[in-house]
Amino acid sequence: MNTEDTADLEQAFQIRIDKEEKIEPKDWMPGEYRRNLIRQISQHAHSEVIGMQPEGNWLTRAPTLRRKAVLLAKVQDEGGHGLYLYSSAETLGVSRAEMIEALQSGKAKYASIFNYPTLSWADIGAIGWLVDGAAIVNQISLQRTSYGPYARAMVRICKEESFHQRQGYEIMLSLSRGNQAQREMAQDALNRWWWPSLMMFGPHDADSAHSAKSMRWKIKRETNDDLRQKFVDQSVPQIDVLKLEYPDPELKWNENRGHYDFGELDWDEFYAVIKGDGHCNRERIQHHVKAHEEGEWVRDALKAYDAKKKARHAA
**Chain residues in the site for Fe ion (CB under 5 A):** 48, 78, 81, 132, 161, 164
Distance CA 308, CA 314 (A): 10
If the CB atoms of residues 78 and 90 are measured against Fe ion, the closer one turns out to be 78
- What's the closest the beta carbon of residue 212 comes to Fe ion, in angstroms? 27
Please give the helix or strand (H or E) that residue 252 lies within, else none.
Answer: strand 252-254
If the CB atoms of residues 30 and 56 are measured against Fe ion, the closer one turns out to be 56
- What's the closest the beta carbon of residue 114 comes to Fe ion, in angstroms? 11
Torsion angle of alpha carbons 243, 58, 266, 240, nearest 10°?
Answer: -10
**Number of neighbouring beta carbons within 10 Å of residue 91:** 16
If the CB atoms of residues 82 and 247 are measured against Fe ion, the closer one turns out to be 82
If the CB atoms of residues 78 and 248 are measured against Fe ion, the closer one turns out to be 78
Please say whether the beta carbons of 92 and 25 come within 8 A: yes
Q: Which residue type does 106 have?
A: G
The b/e string for 99-116 (b: 16+ C-beta within 10 A; e otherwise) is bbebbeeeebbbbbbbbb
- What's the closest the beta carbon of residue 31 comes to Fe ion, in angstroms? 29
- What's the closest the beta carbon of residue 86 comes to Fe ion, in angstroms? 13
If the CB atoms of residues 73 and 241 are measured against Fe ion, the closer one turns out to be 73
Strand locations in 72-203 (E): none
If the CB atoms of residues 128 and 247 are measured against Fe ion, the closer one turns out to be 128
- What's the closest the beta carbon of residue 133 comes to Fe ion, in angstroms? 9
Our CA angle for 303, 308, 313, nearest 5°, is: 125
DSSP 8-state class, residue 54: H
The overall longest dimension of the chain from CA atoms, in Å, is 76
- What's the closest the beta carbon of residue 76 comes to Fe ion, in angstroms? 11
Q: Which residue type does 30 have?
A: P
C-alpha distances out from residue 99 to 24, 43, 89, 90, 197, Å: 21, 9, 9, 9, 25
Please give the helix or strand (H or E) that residue 260 lies within, else none.
Answer: strand 259-261
- Closest to 224 measured CA to CA, from 206, 209, 207, 202: 202
- What's the closest the beta carbon of residue 197 comes to Fe ion, in angstroms? 13
If the CB atoms of residues 164 and 228 are measured against Fe ion, the closer one turns out to be 164
Distance CA 10, CA 289 (A): 40
- Closest to 76 measured CA to CA, from 110, 39, 49: 49
If the CB atoms of residues 62 and 272 are measured against Fe ion, the closer one turns out to be 62
If the CB atoms of residues 127 and 285 are measured against Fe ion, the closer one turns out to be 127
- What's the closest the beta carbon of residue 291 comes to Fe ion, in angstroms? 18
- What's the closest the beta carbon of residue 296 comes to Fe ion, in angstroms? 26
